[in-house]
Structure 1
């Protein structure tokens, strides 16, 4: 789960840095040839020296590699691109097959696809910090049981000590799972949870946009929140039902519809509710739970 979650939680800032790096590489390319994408990737990774594989997943066909680009630490994420339905005819027509095994009606081959149908999606995080390296490194996870008192005495103080933002639209969990802090300088909590609704989060508008863009009705969407979240800023996940999205397991994901119904039934529902969530071995919050004798 940690590997998959790492795969999907690369921040937009990191991707922006990748884009800027590629543009700089393109500007330095003096070949003057079209199809500069190959030159851009070559320039970005030509000096990359791998030092270790942080984690990999044969099922997800993804690998996280730690190393250096010049004198900077870097993490390179290599991910096999999925097979597209609209490329099947070209794939069958243009590929080479090498027989490995034949048993009655069953045959197993090694298929060499045309290069443009056999790409590897590559993400470069450079310069990478120690936090990035830990984020993508395979680690053991532990399931934490957090009571309302645990939140007040362990989780909340830890969040505050990390100087994590508790400004507008920030979630304090689970003392009241969806209590918001408001104002740029105020940490007072809203106790009237009637304001929390699908309209507030514009869920219906997002579902309509997804329908128009991807032709996926609301009945085929999984809409949920994470606890613990990766970032303490209120955000909702929309994924296609049937897709094994990272972090969609019962130990971390909470269906938005269930949360809203719980709060409508009892505005204080999450104030005393015991919640469970996974933490990685190097997570500082996990250490606090151990120090408190809660794990």
Structure 2
């Protein structure tokens, strides 16, 4: 494994740890082909049979609709979380799928028939994410939990949320590594290097880049003084407009995917506290794209044009899981 690959693998693990510290629902985020710090942390250890000795302890959650399952267990006596997810059927694989698969009849009634289809191995992949060694926070993050919708005023943010964020010291070093080209430089598809309005654009790890139905990219700003939506003012309109215009242009040029088929938005609260913008296919029901968490970039720009301090004063709603420390702070302040 070369040094660049090692660094990218290391950053993926750091990103998962950083996300694990922020326990808001939909932290998306699964990291494609995450590397386990196996038996002493040797990145060069063979991974092909990494899961052969996996000991299942509990099913954290599963979804028949999303076709994934989250499993807590152990690998070589280290706590681990394994996420199994069926990959989408790709249009360019249909010919091989029809030609080389075996069908087993389940039922036939007049013109209707149902079968179990057994595709060739190369078309029957399961995307697998391994978090190892997994902390208690990782396990809680993936555990199915009750969720509450909070309403946060501007004053709530300053007196409750911001102090909580600062006390937790959430790490965004992996973000700085991307911006400084210390990791994932080969994954960046576009960059505007301007220190005030610039950003990098790269695919999210949830997207395998093999089809457009679940297209998902992230724009990460170069500025380090903007944590989230709450910090935005009319001063940042040029930055936001630049991200929208150049991001859409880069996606059209690289993937042939027009702006009219994109959902461009910010999360509040975000999964990490460095301003970033999500670009997803409009047809993709991406984690966290619901109205309780996603704010369309076009709406954000318009709100700031109409009221320069809009997000400093506006009451914002967002979901929190039952075990989230911020939820406890809102309860202590009698705001829930």
- Determine if the TM-score, normalized by the shorter chain, exceeds 0.5: yes
Structure 1 counterpart SS, 2:295: strand
- Taking the aligned partners of 2:316 and 2:63, their CA distance within structure 1 comes to 29
Give the deviation of 1:22 after TM superposition. 9.3
Mean alpha-carbon deviation: is it higher for 193-202 or for 155-164?
193-202
Counterpart of 2:168 in structure 1 is 162
Query: 2:235 pairs with 185, 191, 194, which one?
Result: 194
Contact in 1 for aligned 2:24/2:321 (Cα 8 Å) = no
Contact in 2 for aligned 1:194/1:264 (Cα 8 Å) = no
Counterpart of 2:54 in structure 1 is 48
Contact in 1 for aligned 2:228/2:270 (Cα 8 Å) = no
Compared with structure 1, are the counterparts of its residues 18 and 111 closer, same or farther at alpha carbon in structure 2 (3 Å cutoff)?
Answer: farther
Query: 1:63 pairs with 60, 69, 89, which one?
Result: 69
- Taking the aligned partners of 2:25 and 2:127, their CA distance within structure 1 comes to 15
Compared with structure 1, are the counterparts of its residues 45 and 291 closer, same or farther at alpha carbon in structure 2 (3 Å cutoff)?
Answer: same
- Taking the aligned partners of 1:64 and 1:195, their CA distance within structure 2 comes to 39
Counterpart of 1:248 in structure 2 is 289
Counterpart of 2:4 in structure 1 is none
Alignment RMSD? 2.7
Counterpart of 2:45 in structure 1 is 25
Counterpart of 1:212 in structure 2 is 253
1:198-234 alpha-carbon deviations (Å, 9 max, x no partner): 4675332222221122110112111100001110111
Question: TM-score, with normalisation over the residues of structure 2?
Answer: 0.71
Matches within 5 A, 1:128-277: 128-164=134-170, 168-171=224-227, 174=230, 177-178=231-232, 193-198=234-239, 202-277=243-318
- Taking the aligned partners of 1:68 and 1:17, their CA distance within structure 2 comes to 11
Query: 1:123 pairs with 129, 146, 163, which one?
Result: 129
Give the deviation of 1:4 after TM superposition. 8.4
Contact in 1 for aligned 2:265/2:294 (Cα 8 Å) = yes
Compared with structure 1, are the counterparts of its residues 196 and 16 closer, same or farther at alpha carbon in structure 2 (3 Å cutoff)?
Answer: farther
Query: 1:15 pairs with 34, 43, 59, which one?
Result: 34
- Taking the aligned partners of 1:139 and 1:203, their CA distance within structure 2 comes to 35
Which protein has greater RCO, CA pairs closer than 8 Å, 6+ apart? 2
Unaligned runs of 5+ in 2: 1-22, 173-222
1:120-174 alpha-carbon deviations (Å, 9 max, x no partner): 1111111111111111111111110111221122111211221246992332553
Question: TM-score, with normalisation over the residues of structure 1?
Answer: 0.81
- Taking the aligned partners of 1:267 and 1:225, their CA distance within structure 2 comes to 18
Contact in 2 for aligned 1:3/1:56 (Cα 8 Å) = no
Matches within 5 A, 1:82-101: 82-101=88-107
Contact in 1 for aligned 2:68/2:86 (Cα 8 Å) = yes
Compared with structure 1, are the counterparts of its residues 281 and 73 closer, same or farther at alpha carbon in structure 2 (3 Å cutoff)?
Answer: same
1:55-96 alpha-carbon deviations (Å, 9 max, x no partner): 111111111111111121111111111111111111112111
State the aligned residue count: 263
- Taking the aligned partners of 1:111 and 1:22, their CA distance within structure 2 comes to 39
Structure 2 counterpart SS, 1:239: strand
Contact in 2 for aligned 1:97/1:110 (Cα 8 Å) = yes
Give the deviation of 1:278 after TM superposition. 0.5
**Between Structure 1 and Structure 2, whose CA radius of gyration is higher?**
1
Give the deviation of 1:282 after TM superposition. 0.6
